[in-house]
Amino acid sequence: MEIFDLTIEELRLRISRKEVSAAEALDSVLSRIDKVEGRIKAYNTLTPEKARGMLAEADEKAPLYGIPLAIKDNMCTRGVRTTCSSKMLENFVPVYESTVTSKLIKAGYVLVGKTNLDEFAMGSSTENSAFKTTSNPWDTERIPGGSSGGSAAAVAAGQCVGALGSDTGGSIRQPAALCGVVGLKPTYGRVSRYGLVAFASSLDQIGPITKTVKDTAILMNAISGRDPMDSTSAPIPVPDFEAAAGKDIKGIKVGIPKEYFIEGMDPEVDTAVREAIKKLESLGAIPVEISLPNTQYAIATYYVLATSEASSNLARYDGVKYGFRAEGRDLLDMYMQTRSRGFGPEVKRRIMLGTYALSAGYYEAYYGKAQQVRTLIKRDFDNALKEVDVIATPTSPTAAFKMGEKTADPLQMYLSDIFTISINLAGVPAISLPCGFTKSGLPIGLQLIGGHFDEEGIIKAAYAYEQSTGWHKRRPAL
Amino acid sequence: MSSNVAGEKFEAVIGLEVHAQLLTNSKIFCGCSTAFGAAPNSQTCPVCTGQPGSLPVMNEKAIQYTIKTGLAMDCSISPYSRFARKNYFYPDLPKGYQISQYELPLCLKGRVVIETSEGKKEIGITRIHLEEDAGKNIHEAGPFSFVDLNRGGMPLMEIVSEPDMRSPAEAGAYMRKLRTILRYIGVCDGNMEQGSLRCDANVSVRPKGQKELGVKVELKNMNSFRFVEKALEYEINRQVRAIEAGEPILQETRLWDSAAGVTLSMRSKEEAHDYRYFPEPDLVPVTVPDNDIKRIKESLPELPDIKRERFVSVYGLPEYDADQLTAEKPVAEWFEETVKLGAKPKTVSNWVMGELMRLLNEEGAPIEKSSVTPQALAEMLALIDNGTISGKIAKTVFDEMYRTGKPAKKIVEEKGLVQITDTGALESAIDAVMAASPSEVERYRAGEEKLFGFFVGQVMKATKGKANPAAANDMLKKRLKG
């Protein structure tokens, strides 16, 4: 096995035992990138020089010393271009470091590069990137999912040992599922958003995308916790997530929401997820049928709230201070030209939707109503999670689809997040992990949802499942 | 200013929105300094320049100051309050939205008592909320404009009044009263010229006796108390003339042009922004525990209205004196300290409002900078009381005290200003004056009594003003009678 194929857990051990040097690990990853990046197109920016510099400065005793990680290109890295895959920020170099990457620096990581995403994290396929479409390592004619498609593809292709993504409606979990890797969206407030370029502030969370559940736990240990720079980060103690991986799951109750096993779902996905639940049962878990009655309103609610917040969050890209500026006859014309040309079609569509939803006369009918429904959806989860420990669902209704397959129909694209969106509205944590492959060899993801700040519960269940299967050991043939 | 600017037939209705910059050391959502006058953009950071990914963090002091203000203005403090985004595009607004408060402000329903020549009146406070200030656009010659974001993110309180004012004079009195209260409680320096206190006005006119309000116009850009009154006066006249000429009043925003002394249309209602307010997701709602309210209430100083009443009842001061002395807290404190040292309240009041204020105003200095201390004034007044110096000489002494900081006693000694009460010395001075003016003595004795003043003047001249006036008068009268 090549070094780039190792997990964080394995590499950490080998570096600490001096079986592998951190420089060798970085070189292995960089040469892997040389070999496959032309086909995968996972990165917007590669930072080999920066990585070597970081390695020189890192503390050998730090917990993630020498671990080469990729960061989604919507988290600010000081001195390293942070584009959000938008023409608007094509040449934007942050003057400050996001909290998560600051923590990773302290933990000794090395930055391999910044990964591609749907522009401003709006999309489910990375096809909305202004620069490139990332390929799914399992079938390069297919999309890797999105919006953290670059991070998920890079992990799956061995172009980094682990990565960070961000998840507003499924943007960590869906690409993790489609690329056959593990992705966790933490509880809202568990991880600081400071330095994450905002899409929808009340829904955004940063989380790990890794090859295994244990790796996810390791990264969660590094990035979690209250941050004085983010008022919405919770002053709640951070447990040792790594320790949760390996605990017994006998007797835990696994909720199966009937609303998540629906007509029209890919039968191969349906089968794989049901098999996974049986596997959990064989490990001692108790399946319980539950109901999340307001599930049907999730997509509509999400697209009102997320776009409303986005319309405001993206107002700062006005050509005045940083980023792209188009010439204009006067101030208003400069604004209009800058935003017309700087943003891609999906971003503009969402800004328009959100602006409309917040407009005088429509606010109550859209934003106000959506907030109320959000409360109901949250209550669904709160009620269900009183009865069960975790909830098991598919992550995505289908495996990876072909490039261009859904670009003409935004609604079809929005539906790829149907199983992940409610979780952001409820604010609870959820993990996606591989639970099988389609006949054509595409990965399928299992989603496990936990109660507020109970990442331990889903890590525990996910790890137990993972260890009883071999899915996580498969690698795409590249 | 007369109170019937709107004339006999019309009545003006005025409400004010006052922005007060809070005296916190750091900005509302970041650690940048709030000091005035620094080089452009030198007091900025990722947060207050709206860098992608940056987030606001609430300055707790700003919340406390706003609650303090609410309590000082008799508001109820909302136990649950939250911030909202006000969305609009402008170069001085780096995030494309201002973080403000909308449907759940910190303070609601208060009142402030003002006094004009017509008497006392209560002005309702609709709400007080907290928000961030915008930066400043700078337009210089050349093809570019510049943006200075030092002011961006300064903590601002918006104090919204009910439309309870009926004249520019009332609006002026209200503004001054707000300033007094804000300075008393130490939350704002009240400097209108530097922009730490700003005022927008909503004004309409209606026929007297009519209940419905007229069409309101919003006035902006009035950066002094005087301009608030002048702009309102102009605008009320303009509206009355328009109505009398049968022209409609347009709902619009108008700018006060202080150079031309007119208001000019800035934008109409149709051009007004739809701010698309919605709750700020980057900040958690503010919950104010009862204990905090109690603690802040206890920290409030004696407020001007109460102090004023106390000055009247305890010190027996006329209302006017009490009003003047309590307009600024340091003045009131200076006065009380002097009185505590044994000086007579009304005498202290006269000296503070008269000589001391005149001298301070001449150099635009606050009372804290006065070289005359309450102790020094009390000592000087004691010298008058015990007859060492006359009240008239005291003015010279006081001037000298203010100029040099020396105690009264020393000045009196150095300059030989001790009052002449000694009968012998006075007698010889009077005798000399009478001897020098025999014809005037003749005429006085013949009944020309108004000449008495002439003799007093001559005696004062002869004694270089040091004659004890009462003693000199008595003795003069006796000697002139012959």
B325 and B272 in one domain? no
**B54: which chain A residues are within 8 Å (Cβ-Cβ)?**
96, 194-195
Note whether B87 and B97 are within 8 A (CB): yes
Same domain, B39 and B112: yes
Claim to verify: residue B167 and residue B290 sit in the same structural domain: yes
Tokens of B53: 């990914």
State how beta strands A390-394 and A253-257 pair. parallel
Residue B376 lies in a domain: yes
- Are A231 and B282 inside 8 Å of each other by CB? yes
Chosen for mutation from A99, A321, A372 (greatest number of chain B CBs closer than 10 Å) is A321
Which residue ranges in chain A fall short of pLDDT 50?
none
Asked if residue A134 lies in contact with residue A41, where contact means CB atoms within 8 angstroms, the answer is yes
Q: What is the DSSP letter of A198?
A: P
Q: What is the pLDDT of residue B477?
A: 84
B30 and B57 in contact (C-beta within 8 Å)? yes
Whether residues B138 and B210 fall in one domain: yes
Catalytically active residues of A, by annotation: 72, 147, 171
Determine contact, residues B149/B135, Cβ cutoff 8 Å.
yes
Contact residues on chain A for B53, CB-CB shorter than 8 A: 74-76, 82, 94, 98, 193-198
Write out chain A residues lying below 8 Å of B85, CB-based: 312
pLDDT for the residue A216: 98
Residues B401 and B474 in one domain: no
Do B398 and B320 belong to one domain? yes
> CA geometry: angle at B119 spanning B118 and B124, to 5°?
105
Strands (E), B133-172: 136-139, 145-148, 155-161
Do residues B72 and B203 both lie within one domain? Answer: yes
Please tell me which of the candidates A202, A229, A335 has its beta carbon nearest to residue B57: A229
Task: Assign A243 to helix, strand or coil.
Answer: helix
pLDDT tens for residues A90-138?
Answer: 999 999 999 999 999 999 999 999 999 999 999 999 999 999 999 999 9
Give me the pLDDT at residue B400, please.
87
Q: Decide if B87 and A358 are in contact by the 8 Å CB cutoff.
A: yes
Q: Which stretches of B56-122 are DSSP H helices?
A: 60-72
Tens-digit pLDDT profile for residues A423-465: 999 999 999 999 999 999 999 999 999 999 999 999 999 999 9
Q: Pick from B295, B322, B340: which residue ends a domain?
A: B295
Which architecture does CATH list for A3-245+459-473? Answer: Alpha-Beta Complex (3.90)
Residue B2, domain member (yes or no):
no
pLDDT at residue number B2: 47
**How far apart are the C-alpha atoms of B261 and B255, rounded to whole Å?**
11
Instruction: Decide if B3 is inside a domain.
Output: no
In eight-state DSSP terms, residue A369 is: H
Report d(CA B63, CA B130) in Å as an integer: 7
Judge whether A222 and A103 are in contact, CB under 8 Å.
yes
Q: Which residues contact B361 (CB under 8 A, 6 or more apart)?
A: none
Q: Is there a contact between A229 and B53 (Cβ–Cβ < 8 Å)? A: no
In a domain, B1, yes or no: no
The CATH number assigned to the domain holding B471 equals 1.10.10.410
What ipTM was estimated for this complex? 0.96
Contacts A95 to B, Cβ<8 Å: 46, 51
Say how many Å lie between the first and final Cα of chain B, rounded. 56
Out of B295, B311, B341, a domain closes at B295
Please state, in angstroms and as integers, the Cα–Cα distance from residue A98 to each residue in A71, A72, A133, A149, A329, following that order: 11, 12, 25, 20, 36
Question: How many domains are contained in chain B?
Answer: 3
Q: What is the pLDDT of residue B199?
A: 94
Residues B291 and B307 in one domain: no
* pLDDT < 50 stretches in chain B: 1-2
| Domain enclosing residue B455, as ranges | 423-481
List, for residues B405-423, the tens digit of each pLDDT value: 888 888 878 877 777 776 7
d(C-alpha B236, C-alpha B244), whole Å: 12
B409 and B461 part of one domain: no
pLDDT score, position B386: 81
Regarding whether B453 and B377 lie in a shared domain, the answer is: no
Among B482, B435, B481, B424, residue whose Cα is nearest residue B458? B435
Interface mutation target, options A236, A313, A314, A351, chain B, most CBs of B under 10 Å: A313
